[in-house]
Amino acid sequence: MIYHIIQNGFDPAYVLSFLIALTIALTVHEFAHAYRADLAGDPTPRAHGRVSLNPLDHFDPIGTTMILIAGFGWGKPVPVNAFRFRHPRRDEVFVSLWGPLSNILVAVVFGLLYRSDLLHAWNYPLFFTIVWLNLALGFFNLLPLYPLDGSHILSALLPTHSARRLDEFYARWGIMVLLLLLLTGMAGTIISVPLDLSVRLLLGGPL
Q: Taken in order 117, 123, 127, 128, is the CA torsion positive or negative?
A: positive
d(C-alpha 102, C-alpha 99), whole Å: 5
Instruction: Check residue 171 and report its DSSP letter.
Output: I
d(C-alpha 92, C-alpha 98), whole Å: 10
Q: Report helix angle 12-39 to 63-70, nearest 10.
A: 140
Q: Does the annotation count 168 as an active-site position? A: no
Cβ neighbors of 94 (< 8 A, separation 6 or more) are 36, 40
**Within 13 Å and on the Cβ side, how many CA atoms surround 68?**
18
**Of 17, 25, 28, 30, which residue is the catalytic one?**
30
Where in the sequence numbering do the catalytic residues fall?
30
